Structure 1
């Protein structure tokens, strides 16, 4: 299991590293919410352990952005000293899959994470996005259009996933940039380059175009009449 711990208590983080690494798991850590969100969206983890009270961005806001802006389904368990029912409800509504109050026993955290992973793997077997003959298998990371295998760079695949999840709605440039780079987008219009490459692979060999530019808005993936969009 590859685990991301988003927690600012250094002693607790050290205890989690000692416990999980001794059992053969790989553990990364982030000391604040902004760093945690960046890692969670730029790298692949099996599960997240998220503290409620974090510097720069609290746990509920981190999970809310992770679910709503990045469409991530990575299982997440929230750690907090807040044990009142309204707090628990708020945590689940923000996007937590489980909720564990401090202090807690490390074996209990491990068992809860294992249960989350089992459920997530069951969902992954069905995680296939499909729009107008374009198919993206999120388990194998294979993309096909009309049965033809498409070879995509990881960044292009992230853009494609965001567009397919939102289809037929538009996705803003800001949302796509955040999906790729978090709060630290690179200088220049690198997003345009990624969309150009994605178009070359997804639309280039086919007569019908699916990826469209919406001026001053962003991009949309859908079968649309040419007069409704301005491509470029």
Structure 2
């Protein structure tokens, strides 16, 4: 198969299944973030940009159907959800589609079929409406993982974009370092202070575009954007 590189959020609490799926996707050179509970899944899906969510229905804290509804309501882009479950009755599938699922795959499944379905959903998502997020002079395009200050594109890494997206979503509040670390690396952060390096690069990009420092350090807490505190984050849908 000739796969396009995708960014996937895997929501699965069974460690063996999670390792198998994540290992297979890693072999395709796809990016795969993992959440083993519903609350973390909603947090990641609403703060990061993914091409597809692979969602198990049987989660330890929140029912997968409720997680699906929350992702569909809160995600910053039109995010396809592929449900993975052992529930194979028609009524279960119908309920999943009614709650926002874009596709349904019954366990056990062939990992090659999983990849094909992910690619199909990602292509379909490109045809749907996209969502721009605007915060004052900043414009973020989550699906494209791009950002602009005014008309000036920001040369951000994928990690830098994730940081900026979280800062925008929580503006005018500061974002704790611990929250950023969890968003970027989950429960397995790097040994070195990698966050500081990414913050430095993001600060330089913003300062070059704006002509002043837009990324403020909040002592003993984290970081915030130095923008008008009365300006809120707006979502603008455009034809894609």
TM-score scaled to structure 2, two decimals? 0.58
Deviations along 1:1-50, one digit per CA (max 9) or x if unpaired, are 12111111111111112211112112221111112222222333221100
**Higher RCO (C-alpha 8 Å, min separation 6):** 2
Q: 2:165 aligns with which of 154, 157, 161?
A: 154
Partner of 1:42: 47
Structural mapping, 1:112-123, within 5 Å: 112-123=117-128
Distance 1:118 1:28 in 2: 20
Establish whether residue 29 from structure 1 lines up as the match of residue 34 from structure 2: yes
> Can you list the C-alpha shifts for 1:137-192, whole angstroms capped at 9, x where unaligned?
62443365xxx6699953454369xxxxxxxxxxxxxxxx9xxx7xx9xxxxx9xx
Contact 1:3 1:48 in 2 (8 A): yes
Larger Rg: 1
| Counterpart mapping for 1:72-87 below 5 A | 72-87=77-92
Structure 1 pair 119/57, CA: closer, same or farther in 2 (3 Å)? same
Q: What is the deviation of 1:127?
A: 4.0
Distance 1:54 1:118, change over 3 A: same
1:142 has 2:148 as partner: yes
**Structure 1 SS opposite 2:53:** strand
**Residue number in structure 1 paired with 2:57:** 52
- 1:199 aligned counterpart, secondary structure: coil
TM-score (norm 1): 0.60
Change (3 A) 1:156 1:39: closer
**How far apart are residue 110 of structure 1 and its match?**
0.6
| Matched residue, 1:67 | 72
RMSD after superposition? 3.9
1:101-140 equivalent positions in 2, closer than 5 A: 101-123=106-128, 127-128=131-132, 136=139, 138=141, 139=144, 140=146
User: Aligned residue pairs: how many?
Assistant: 177
* Unaligned ranges ≥5, structure 2: 1-5, 155-160, 183-220, 235-240
